[in-house]
Structures are given as C-alpha cells and as structure tokens.
A and B are shown apart, each in its own frame.
Chain A
C-alpha cells in the first residue's frame, strides 16, 4: 500500500528521522496558514499524489511570500498532474504539503528495500541524488552503493558507516547521518515496508541531514498488524472499481486505455496468460478480475457486476481452471449476477477442472445466452469474433 509524502514524514518525525518543518493543506487558505507558521520565506508547496516525478510535472513550486503561497497552492490544488508514473491520464491533486525552504549544500539518494534474490534487506545510496536517479542507475550503476543486511541480525554500526563513507559525508554531519540511517531502518522494519525512499536526502549549510522527500510503501500482506498505517489509505488515489472489488476481497485490475474485453479468471498467472491470449487474438483486454481460490457464489456475482459496470466492455471472457474454486460455484455466481443485473454483452465461458460437469450443467440449464468454448484456442477464436 502506498501512502502520501506528508504521511510518510509523520512516521519519520515520530522515529527521529529529521524532516523539514511543515504541514498539509487542503485549500489555499490553509496553505497560507501553514506558511505563516514556518516563520520565513521561501516555502515549498508540494502536490500530494501517489506518484513520483511531481517536480518535473509542475507539482512542486517555491513561494517567496504569503500571497505567492496562496496563488501557487491555488494553481496546484485541483490541477491534473501528469508525471511518468501517473500515466497519460494524470491524477487530480487534492492536497499540498507546505514546507520551509532549506539552504541545501548537497543532494543524496537513500532507500531501503527487501532484495528478493538474497532475502536480505538492502540499503541503496548515491551521491548523485535528485530527480535523475533512474538515469544514474541505468548509465552509471557504479555510483550506487548497496549494503546488504541480514534480517535476523538487523542493522549494525558498520552497515551505517559503510553507507556514510561511501557517500563522503563530511565529518561535521557524520553523527546525525549515522543516526538517521539507523532510525530509518527501524521505520522500515517496524512497518513492514516494501520500500522506504528518500530522494533527495539533503545536507544543509549548517550541517544538518534532512529528508526533503519521503516515500514509503507498506507490504499489503502485513497490514493486519499495522492498523495505524491502514488509516493512511487514500481511496481517492485508487480506481473506484478496484476499491469496490477490494471490499469483496476480489482483485480487480483496470488496464485503462482502449480495452474492450472484460476478463474473469482465477489466479494471477492464469490472469496474465489470459490477457496475453486476448491480445494475441486481436482484441484488447479492458480489465481483469481475479476471483482467487476460495470465492463464494456471492463473490463471483459481485465480481461479474463490477466487470459489467466498466462501460468500455464489449464482451466478457470467463476463463476458470477450477482447483479450490469449484466450477459449480462459479457457474452459480454467474447465474445469480445475470438474474439480478442482466447481461447485455456477449459472454464466453471456458471452464475446466474441479466439478466442471456440474458447472456446465448449471450454465446450460440457466437459459442464459452464453457462448461456451471447449479450450483456450477456441476461446481466443471466439473473443476475436465478438470484437470484430
């Protein structure tokens, strides 16, 4: 789960990772109030959305006065911010973070994440911090330091020193820097983060080390033990149909763009392979809904309704390989959905696996106008026909 920069900074502040003074604002008036409390200009006004690249997209600006804070906040709030991470459709900005300006002498990059290959946590750091870190990683990977930490051992002093000396931290800033690394690692572990990233981490003229930016992603599987973080969830940043699906414990992905075939599948791998199949048949997948393993007929019914509510969908492919999810349960859910909401687009059903005969019988007896496919080749052919 992603959280906003201002929320990540709340976590940082609580765990003694220094961040600039500042606060969040939902209106330009509130932005001005925040600026007045900071005691001096310039202040920085930063759009709060769940995507990076905000500066380049025009969502981060300096204000030199109270009036300018108001006008910049006005300009950013409500704007449709497009960055390389939002996709071309962009994201509407609903809040801004107003912070003190700092006298920066150096910009660094720092992140911590789990490395799947080694099963170790890895600290990544670079002297080439700032907006172009991805380019640095691609063109000059040797400028990025990696320090691996055994999760059973935890962070030790020498790990922190390895990062500090690798970044050529000046002597005067050494102690606060070492403390920051240790505290940041504690945040990373305590909240089950899948990513903690500070870009840039800045050194100031008075030898402070401050997290100018903050990005924290929390492992969704671990949210059961972090109720406080769960309160940071911002459903404004999510697709409304995806939010609705998650309420029913279904995994729905809107693929955006020009898709016209809705997909109902079970299992992530089969979902991806089905999406490939639709595309290879000359159609365009609009979404897929993974009903998972333990779905009930009610969950299938809700899932079917969600797929149908996507207005771009011109046809639906149901591709289920029954394992834990039984084909008769699936068929029951499809029939229930059809009875309650009606189906106004062609539906192709391809089922195989547990209780497949019972499932096929339920669909055949329902009198619904469904197109059945005997195998995947056949399903692909029929998908191509309905979108022609």
Chain B
C-alpha cells in the first residue's frame, strides 16, 4: 500500500521533449513507472523513446488513459499546463517547475478548487512509492521499498537527506512526497498526514518543515485531533537571522507565527518527536518507530 500513487498509476509528462522533461521521464521509466504519454504542443505524433507525444492533454488521455500528469513546463507556461491537466480530467497533477509567479498560482489554486483533482507542488521534487513508481526528480537509489514510514516535506534536497538517513537505519518508506516550498501550493501537510493515517501499511510519518508561514502549526493541530500514528518532525532554519523584512504587511499577516521556535513548541505540544539537529534525524526515527 501507499498513498496517492502506485504501480498502476499511468503518467503523462507535460514538457517531455524539453531537456529536463526528457531526462527525468527516462529516469522514471527506468524505475518502472508507467509513463504512457508525453504532451508538447506542436510535437504531437512524435515519440520520445517509446513514449507517444500528443499536442494536448485531452488527446493524450483519450488515447492512453493517463490519470496522472508530471509537469516540467517552463515557468511562464506552467500555470496554463496545470489548468490544462485539470481540465483534461487528470486526477493527480505533479508540478515540478520552479519559479512560477505567485499571481499565476493563485489563479490555478482557485481554478482547480472545484475540480476532481489533486495538485502536488509546484517547485517540488515530486512523489515516490519506492519499489512501485517514481514520479519526480528524486534520486531513486536512496529509497527503500516496503514501508512502513511515510515522508512529507516542504523541501527537495532536505527530503533526500531524511530518506537517506531512514534507509541507513534500515527503515523503509511507503510513500515520500515533496509538497514544495512555494507560498501558494496544491497539497499541504494535512492532506498527506490524513492519507498516511488512513493507509494501513504506513506505521509512522516523518514531517519536514521550515520557517515561515503557518503550515506546520496547522499540521500540529491536525495531529493532535486526528492522528494516532507516531510522527517525527524537523524544522529547517531554526538559527536563521530574523530576515530582511518585507515591510509592515508581512508582519501583520503572520503576526507572531512562522518562527522556528513557535513551530517546534506547537509540534511538541502535539506529541511529535521533534529532532532539532539534522545529523540525528535517523536516530530519532529509529527511536520513535521501534
């Protein structure tokens, strides 16, 4: 078992003929992911290796039955690509693209609100169910199939570090998700925690956050109310100097929340085993997930 994606997930890659899209589509195929289609407007009818390329998401879905989209489209066109995927009936949209304007993502988020789809990202490494499918840019060999631990993180490379430490401790993973570090994104911590809580194979969760925003505090509230499985937490940026501030408005909207210490207190109060030194995260997991 796993959450959101598994060996039956049929992936189409938007931007498959670009340098990044091509490289990572091949890596996903090599891992065993079912990459059934690519979409690059104007290149319909071509092939990328054995993968047929279509002009639109709708035509790709009609021909191949794809149910998941992985997006590598450059930032100026990425919002359009997400909305096309949602409009084309894709249920799981994974946006890897980094650098999408906030204003574009606000429109996307409001547009997909009433659609039957889930967006992961943007600006994220993607999602992997080790041993079944990899839909993203994470290095595959650091993962260990079979569970029992789920990983959810706001950061890319920091996720790899955490997964690597789990694997070094001989602790496998059910599913690992990078939800992305952008201010406006699709799936949040709570969506993932809820799914992990309901997944019988997942016995515990590692949640990796960072300073800024209130996502970790909200996740802590959710854990207090709904979660029975053990959670190990980490927050990056505890020692960051109080940043160059964005004028008054930033302070007003965030109030006193968003600081590392505030997040740690909220997480500890929710019963999360918070590890404050990244070097020892693997040890903390070994202790919590005995």
Contact = CB atoms under 8 A, between A and B. Distances in A.
Interface of A: 52, 85, 87, 109, 111, 113-117, 119-122, 124, 133-134, 137-138, 141, 144, 150-152, 189, 192, 194-195, 197, 199, 215, 217, 219, 221-222, 224-225, 255-257, 265-270, 272-277, 279-280, 285, 293-294, 321-324, 352-354, 375-377, 379-380
A376 B183 contact: no
Given A197-B247, A276-B236, A276-B238, A269 B253 contact: no
A35 to B, nearest CB: 28
A220 B280 CA distance: 36
A83 to B, nearest CB: 11
Given A122-B253, A134-B252, A270-B158, 17 more contacts: A114-B102, A114-B184, A119-B109, A134-B251, A151-B103, A151-B110, A221-B75, A267-B155, A269-B158, A269-B181, A269-B210, A270-B161, A273-B237, A285-B239, A293-B137, A323-B137, A353-B139
Contacts of B271: none
Interface in B97-127: 98-107, 109-111, 125
A379 B279 CA distance: 9
A144 B252 contact: yes
A64 B110 CA distance: 52
16 contacts: A111-B247, A133-B248, A133-B252, A137-B252, A137-B255, A150-B110, A195-B247, A272-B211, A272-B237, A273-B234, A276-B238, A276-B239, A276-B276, A352-B164, A353-B142, A353-B160
Contacts of A377: 279-280
A275 B240 contact: yes
A219 B101 CA distance: 7
Task: In the A-B complex, list the 4 residue pairs whose CB atoms are closest, starting with the nearest.
Answer: A269-B155, A267-B157, A269-B158, A222-B101
B50 to A, nearest CB: 24
A217 B251 contact: no
Nearest to A284: B239
A85 B244 contact: yes
Interface of B: 20, 75-76, 98-107, 109-111, 125, 137-139, 142, 153-161, 164, 168, 181, 183-184, 208, 210-211, 213-214, 234, 236-241, 244-253, 255-256, 276-280
Contacts of B278: 273-274, 276-277, 376
Contacts, number: 189
Interface centre among A122, A269, A377 (most CB of B within 10 A): A269
B251 A268 contact: no
A116 B212 CA distance: 11
Given A269-B153, A269-B157, A272-B236, A151 B255 contact: no
A289 to B, nearest CB: 14
A255 B138 CA distance: 29
Contacts of A113: 249-250, 253
A122 B277 CA distance: 37
Contacts of A225: 76, 101
B107 A217 contact: no
A328 to B, nearest CB: 13
A352 B164 CA distance: 9
Given A111-B248, A116-B213, A275-B240, A219 B102 contact: yes
A277 B279 contact: yes
Contact of B160 (A117, A217, A280, A321): A321
Nearest to B185: A116
Contact of A85 (B20, B110, B156, B245): B245
Given A116-B183, A121-B106, A273-B236, A195 B157 contact: no
A269 B183 CA distance: 14
A120 B279 CA distance: 39
Given A119-B110, A137-B251, A152-B107, A321 B246 contact: no
A161 to B, nearest CB: 22
A243 to B, nearest CB: 15
A91 to B, nearest CB: 11
A269 B139 contact: no
Given A119-B110, A277-B278, A323 B248 contact: no
A283 to B, nearest CB: 11
Contact of B155 (A189, A270, A276): A270
Contacts of A120: 106, 110
A354 B164 CA distance: 12
B111 A152 contact: yes
A255 B155 contact: no
A272 B139 CA distance: 21
Given A276-B278, A324-B137, A376-B161, A134 B248 contact: yes
Given A219-B101, A256-B241, A224 B156 contact: no
B213 A189 contact: no
Given A115-B253, A152-B111, A222-B101, A273 B158 contact: yes
Contact of A197 (B20, B208, B214, B248): B248
Contact of A270 (B99, B157, B211, B213): B157
A127 B220 CA distance: 35
